[in-house]
């Protein structure tokens, strides 16, 4: 063992590496192999001539004995002689205090020695840097490198850019760094902290952004790492930023220090999640080796931090928000309000992080308790913290059609025996949302967790589900499976979900792409995407979720499944009690089965799916298929149904939008205006007679309502305008135009929360603003928007302008009669 003052060095250990690789290969994807773990191998093409393999194990597998290596972040390759070598080596996976046997304080005390280097747990993403034999500098994120199109690679790419900037500072080249690292047989480990690239919890100003070097590891199967002062020296030499750390020699001191920081969650003026402690241990082998553990703040510290946040909220006049320790926190807030009342100086100091501990201690003294007493008491009273939740977990997707909800649900069912209710299997005509919630509750009687398989794409659906289930199961824990729908990403989401749904064919209860034809299905899918309301955990109803797991609708269900399991496992360990974690092979198999073996046995029409509320409106279904009530509708016939808008309002909006635009942008609008080619009336077409065959249900629903409302009564004769069928909200999202036609792309939503929805069956709901000549029909907006969806604006000759702010206008839903 090298002294802590000199750099450790050992050359590649060919035999050790071969052995390690044999161990990894032997457990590749094969369920739990001989080694009792499983791993995934990915090969990356660096530059067409260099190939590296990345090895990845499941988090929980690192807790097992006798693994070929414990490196988290591991890349290997073959050198020019065909000999295997490690090119990138991350730290050994390290655990929280108390998380495993080895990190119980007694064992830490017994088995470790100082100096203990403590650093604040980093807050960006990890980047590995090393040198290949041919002087290529390799920059990797945890599991990726090279130029594949995925997010992890974009981390690696951002890392590359920063490396270049740092090297420039000290006038060195990539090749020089590669040669140096190779000479050291080491991997440089840095944290990429750059808000411009990706925002994390802590803020980094542009001056503070960059790569923070925090470690240098030898490229060996076993873990050997540089002492921190040598890492700093290397950072200075090569232009990297340095990380902050403190050194303590005595483990008791370390413990006291950490517990002290935990009290405020603050260190050096910044919020911290916890610390990483680096030292040496002689556990297992009896020989001193480099070893890390972490100290993440948990109870009662998390409770203290909650109190701190609540106090700050009170001071700044916000409503304090909290989910845990409800009773005691309520009492604390009352106490704090009293203290702060009439003491602006106290409030001001508190905002500057002074007096936090005093406020808390005064409160605890006033009730004669210590923090730990409260936690113990809560546990005895059955106050649920996520750590001991072992039942009543409801998994609620927020998604659109084809995101993979059912695939994930079926996989969770087969892996853990969890419940699953598909909204599409509920065929009751009345009170379907309630029936769905009831079916979910029923699953929880038998099973610890269940998936409420419905799109829940709007807030009112999420609200309904959370409220209805909580009424029957008051302790239910809601986990949102958030298929993130950023509008900027809609085209990729469209591509991914359409592909899946169209190739699924008829194997679905309501969306039968095979027999309905792609256009009809795409329109339904578009409806969901347009109505999608992003999950906002900060506000109602989404603040009812105990946890939100973000997943990417364009990623494979297999990858999403793994994220979901990992997150649930970390948050609700007891939910998995007694079950071994599935290997990656188990997960592959579960997804495979969900995709291949699953067939639906219920099929019915789409109703209440898209048009929930028709029934509540009392729209009876009295029309024949020819679109005429009982075959004898009076002339004239309805041509289309639309949401009509105030022309004054729309014109005012158009004027405002173009007033500040550059002349080139406003050119076509001004021309349309000058030539009086702007529409006199504005509307959003909901459905045209021509589409009634494809959307029979919707057409009939509206037609019935229209006929009912326009039947002559004593007060009403046919000479009056068409009756109002309802109201809706029309959000103006953007203006799109070419030199023939201009339209607003809009978003339709119910007029009030929980109100009736009036979707548009057009691929892109829109308002035609005007056309360039009388022979250009407004319907051309449809083809303009279709081209815009496919090609975007710019080169395609299409221009677009986003409408800033949340501009919404009221729409009046009416049938518009055919002109004679």
Query: Where in the sequence numbering do the catalytic residues fall?
Result: 121
Q: What is the dihedral of CA 551, 556, 559, 564, to 10 degrees?
A: 40
Which one of the spans 213-221, 554-562, 574-582, 608-616 is the region binding ligand GTP (CB under 6 A)? 554-562
Taking the CA of residue 3 as centre, how many other CA atoms within 13 Å lie in the half-sphere pointing to its CB? 2
**In contact, 401 and 531? CB cutoff 8 Å:** no
Cβ-Cβ contacts under 8 Å for 664 (sequence gap 6 or more):
none
Nearer to ligand GTP, 532 or 572 (CB): 532
Q: Confirm or reject binding of residue 611 to Mg ion (CB under 5 A).
A: no
CB of 68 to ligand GTP, least distance (A): 30
Q: Measured from the CB of residue 265, what is the shortest distance to ligand GTP in angstroms?
A: 39
How many chain residues bind ligand GTP (CB under 6 A)?
Answer: 18
Q: Which does 557 bind (CB under 5 to 8 A by kind): Mg ion, ligand GTP, none?
A: ligand GTP
> Could you tell which of ligand GTP, Mg ion, none binds residue 407, using a CB distance below 5 to 8 A set by kind?
ligand GTP
**Binding of Mg ion at residue 243 (CB under 5 A)?**
no
Which residue of 185, 219, 406, 760 would you call a contact of Mg ion, by CB under 5 A? 406
Residue 606 near ligand GTP by CB under 6 A: no
* Interacting residue with ligand GTP among 500, 516, 530, 612 (CB under 6 A): 500
553 burial via Cβ count (<10 Å: 0-12, 13-18, 19+): buried
> Which residues face 748 on adjacent strands?
730
Among 69, 339, 406, 763, contact with ligand GTP (rule: CB under 6 A):
406
- Taking the C-alpha atoms of residue 56 and residue 24, their distance in angstroms, rounded to an integer, is 9
Which single residue brings its beta carbon nearest to Mg ion? 406
Cis omega (within 30 of 0) for bond into 661: no
Residue 185 binding partner per list ligand GTP, Mg ion, none, with a CB distance cut-off of 5 to 8 Å that depends on partner kind:
none
Residues in the chain: 820
Instruction: Tell me how far, at minimum, the Cβ of 406 lies from ligand GTP, in Å.
Output: 3
Q: H helices within 129-239, ranges in order?
A: 151-169, 174-184, 228-238
Contact, 480 vs 396, CB < 8 A? yes
Q: Tell me if 214 contacts ligand GTP by CB under 6 A.
A: no
The pair of structure tokens assigned to 694 is 């494809």
Our finding on whether 405 is near ligand GTP (CB under 6 A) is yes
How far separated are the first and last CA of the chain, in Å rounded?
Answer: 96
HSE-up of 583 (CA within 13 Å, CB side)? Answer: 17
From the list 26-34, 353-361, 460-468, 498-506, the region that binds ligand GTP by CB under 6 A is 498-506
In degrees, rounded to 5, the angle at the alpha carbon of residue 429 between the alpha carbons of residues 425 and 435 is 60
Question: Does position 413 bind ligand GTP by CB under 6 A?
Answer: no
Smallest gap, in angstroms, from Cβ of residue 553 to ligand GTP? 9
Q: Kindly tell me which residue out of 401, 619, 657, 767 binds ligand GTP, with binding defined by CB under 6 A.
A: 401
Q: Going along 487-530, which residue ranges are E strands? A: none
Residue 504 interacting with ligand GTP (CB under 6 A): yes
Residues in Cβ contact with 325 at an 8 Å cutoff, skipping those fewer than 6 apart: 303, 306, 374, 378, 383
Query: Do 333 and 360 meet the contact criterion of CB atoms below 8 Å apart?
Result: no
- DSSP H or E stretch at residue 732: strand 724-737
Map residue 536 onto helix, strand or coil.
coil
413 is in the binding site of which of ligand GTP, Mg ion, none (Cβ under 5 to 8 A by kind)? none
Q: Is 494 in the site for ligand GTP (CB under 6 A)?
A: no
Interaction of residue 705 with ligand GTP, rule CB under 6 A: no
Q: Which stretch binds ligand GTP (CB under 6 A): 280-288, 371-379, 394-402, 812-820?
A: 394-402
Bridge-based pairing of strands 289-296 and 274-281 is antiparallel
Q: Residue 130 or residue 455: which is nearer to ligand GTP going by CB? A: 455
> By CB under 5 A, is residue 608 in contact with Mg ion?
no
- Identify which of residues 538 and 597 has a Cβ nearer to Mg ion in the complex: 597
Q: Which of 178, 186, 261, 399 binds ligand GTP (CB under 6 A)?
A: 399
Q: Does 498 bind ligand GTP (CB under 6 A)?
A: no
Query: Of 174 and 405, which CB lies nearer to Mg ion in the complex structure?
Result: 405
The entry of Mg ion, ligand GTP, none that residue 485 binds, CB within 5 to 8 Å by partner kind: none
Please choose which of ligand GTP, Mg ion, none residue 553 contacts, taking the beta carbon within 5 to 8 angstroms, the exact cut-off set by kind.
Answer: none
- What's the min distance (Å) between Cβ of 405 and Mg ion? 5
Classified as helix, coil or strand, 205 is: coil
Does residue 293 sit in helix, strand or coil? Answer: strand
Q: Tell me the C-alpha distance between 194 and 208, whole Å.
A: 8
Structure tokens at 712: 């002559």
Partner from ligand GTP, Mg ion, none binding residue 475, C-beta < 5-8 Å depending on class: none
What does the block give as tokens for 27? 């457990």
**3-state secondary structure at position 144:** coil
In this structure, what token pair is assigned to residue 10? Answer: 């050992």
Chosen from ligand GTP, Mg ion, none, partner binding at 500 (C-beta under 5 to 8 Å by type): ligand GTP
Lookup: tokens for 817: 């009669």
Q: Is 511 among the residues that bind ligand GTP (CB under 6 A)?
A: yes
The window from 98-106, 209-217, 504-512, 654-662 that contacts ligand GTP (CB under 6 A) reads 504-512
- Mark residues 344-383: x for contact with ligand GTP by CB under 6 A, - for none: ----------------------------------------
Binding mask 430-459 for ligand GTP (x = CB under 6 A): -------------------------x----
* Site for ligand GTP contains 595 (CB under 6 A): yes
Q: Phi and psi at residue 816, in whole multiples of 5°? A: -110, 125
Considering the complex, state which of residue 127 and residue 551 has its C-beta at the smaller distance from ligand GTP. 551
Strand, helix or coil at 346?
helix
Taking CB under 6 A as the rule, does residue 279 contact ligand GTP?
A: no
Alpha carbon of 135 to those of 50, 180, 183, 536, 594: distances in Å? 11, 9, 11, 47, 46
290 SS3 class: strand
> From the list 23, 210, 320, 402, which residue makes contact with ligand GTP (rule: CB under 6 A)?
402
Nearest to 670 by CA among 770, 572, 595: 770
Q: Does 407 bind ligand GTP (CB under 6 A)?
A: yes
Where on the chain is the footprint of ligand GTP (CB under 6 A)?
A: 399, 401-407, 455, 500-501, 504, 508, 511, 556-558, 595
Where on the chain is the footprint of Mg ion (CB under 5 A)?
A: 406
């Amino acid at each position: 063992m090298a002294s802590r003052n000199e750099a450790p060095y050992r050359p590649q250990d060919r035999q050790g590496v071969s052995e390690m690789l044999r161990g990894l290969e032997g457990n590749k994807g094969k369920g739990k192999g001989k080694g009792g773990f499983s791993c995934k191998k990915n090969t990356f093409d660096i530059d067409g001539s260099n190939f590296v393999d990345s090895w990845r194990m499941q988090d929980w597998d690192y807790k097992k004995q006798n693994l070929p290596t414990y490196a988290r972040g591991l890349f290997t390759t073959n050198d020019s002689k065909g000999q295997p070598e490690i090119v990138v080596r991350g730290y050994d996976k390290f655990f929280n205090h108390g998380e495993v046997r080895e990190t119980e304080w007694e064992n830490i005390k017994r088995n470790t020695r100082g100096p203990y280097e403590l650093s604040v747990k980093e807050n960006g993403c990890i980047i590995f840097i090393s040198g290949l034999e041919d002087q290529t500098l390799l920059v990797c994120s945890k599991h990726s490198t090279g130029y594949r199109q995925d997010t992890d690679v974009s981390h690696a790419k951002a890392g590359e850019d920063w490396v270049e900037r740092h090297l420039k500072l000290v006038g060195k080249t990539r090749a020089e760094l590669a040669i140096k690292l190779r000479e050291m047989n080491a991997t440089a480990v840095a944290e990429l902290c750059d808000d411009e690239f990706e925002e994390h919890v802590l803020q980094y100003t542009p001056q503070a952004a960059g790569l923070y070097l925090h470690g240098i590891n030898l490229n060996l199967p076993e873990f050997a790492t540089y002492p921190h002062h040598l890492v700093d020296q290397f950072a200075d030499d090569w232009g990297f930023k340095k990380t902050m750390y403190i050194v303590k020699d005595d483990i008791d001191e370390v413990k006291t220090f950490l517990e002290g920081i935990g009290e405020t969650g603050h260190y050096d003026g910044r919020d911290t999640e916890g610390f990483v402690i680096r030292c040496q241990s002689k556990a297992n082998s009896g020989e001193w080796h480099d070893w890390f553990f972490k100290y993440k703040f948990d109870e009662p510290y998390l409770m203290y931090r909650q109190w701190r946040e609540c106090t700050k909220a009170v001071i700044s006049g916000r409503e304090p928000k909290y989910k845990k320790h409800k009773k005691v926190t309520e009492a604390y807030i009352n106490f704090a309000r009293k203290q702060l009342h009439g003491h602006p100086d106290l409030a001001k100091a508190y905002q500057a992080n002074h007096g936090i501990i005093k406020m808390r201690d005064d409160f605890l003294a006033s009730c004669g308790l210590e923090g730990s007493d409260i936690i113990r008491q809560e546990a005895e009273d059955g106050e649920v913290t996520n750590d001991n939740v072992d039942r009543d977990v409801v998994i609620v997707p927020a998604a659109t059609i084809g995101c993979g909800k059912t695939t994930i649900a079926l996989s969770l069912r087969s892996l853990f025996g969890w419940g699953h209710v598909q909204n599409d299997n509920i065929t009751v005509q009345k009170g379907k949302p309630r029936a769905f919630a009831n079916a979910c509750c029923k699953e929880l009687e038998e099973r610890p967790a269940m998936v409420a398989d419905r799109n829940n794409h709007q807030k009112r659906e999420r609200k309904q589900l959370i409220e209805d289930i909580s009424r029957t199961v008051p302790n239910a824990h809601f986990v949102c499976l958030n298929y993130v729908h950023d509008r900027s990403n809609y085209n990729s989401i469209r591509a991914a979900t359409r592909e899946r749904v169209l190739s699924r064919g008829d194997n679905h209860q309501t969306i039968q792409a095979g027999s309905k034809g792609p256009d009809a299905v795409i329109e339904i899918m578009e409806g969901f995407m347009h109505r999608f309301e992003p999950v906002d955990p900060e506000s109602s109803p989404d603040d009812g979720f105990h946890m939100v797991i973000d997943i990417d609708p364009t990623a494979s269900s297999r990858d999403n499944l793994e994220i979901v399991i990992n997150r649930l496992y970390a948050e609700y360990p007891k939910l998995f009690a007694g079950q071994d974690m599935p290997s990656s092979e188990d997960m592959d198999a579960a997804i495979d089965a969900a995709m291949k073996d699953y067939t639906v046995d219920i099929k019915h029409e789409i109703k209440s799916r898209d048009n929930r509320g028709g029934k509540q409106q009392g729209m009876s279904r009295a029309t024949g298929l020819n679109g005429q009530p009982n075959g004898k509708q009076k002339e004239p016939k309805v041509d289309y149904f639309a949401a009509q808008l105030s022309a004054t309002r729309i014109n005012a909006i158009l004027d405002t939008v173009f007033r500040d635009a550059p002349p080139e942008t406003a050119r076509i609008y001004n021309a349309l205006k000058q030539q009086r080619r702007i529409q006199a009336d504005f509307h959003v077409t909901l459905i045209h007679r021509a589409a009634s065959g494809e959307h029979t249900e919707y057409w009939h629903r509206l037609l019935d309502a229209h006929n009912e409302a326009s039947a002559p009564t004593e007060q009403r004769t046919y000479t009056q305008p068409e009756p109002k069928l309802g109201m809706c909200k029309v959000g103006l999202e953007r203006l799109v135009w070419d030199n023939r036609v201009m339209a607003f792309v809009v978003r339709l939503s119910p007029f009030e929360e929980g109100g009736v929805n009036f979707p548009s069956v057009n691929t892109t709901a829109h308002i035609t603003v005007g056309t360039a000549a009388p022979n250009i029909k407004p319907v051309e907006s449809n083809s303009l928007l279709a081209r815009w969806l496919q090609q975007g604006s710019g080169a395609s000759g299409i221009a677009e302008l986003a409408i800033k702010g949340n501009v919404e206008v009221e729409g009046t839903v009416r049938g518009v009669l055919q002109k004679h």
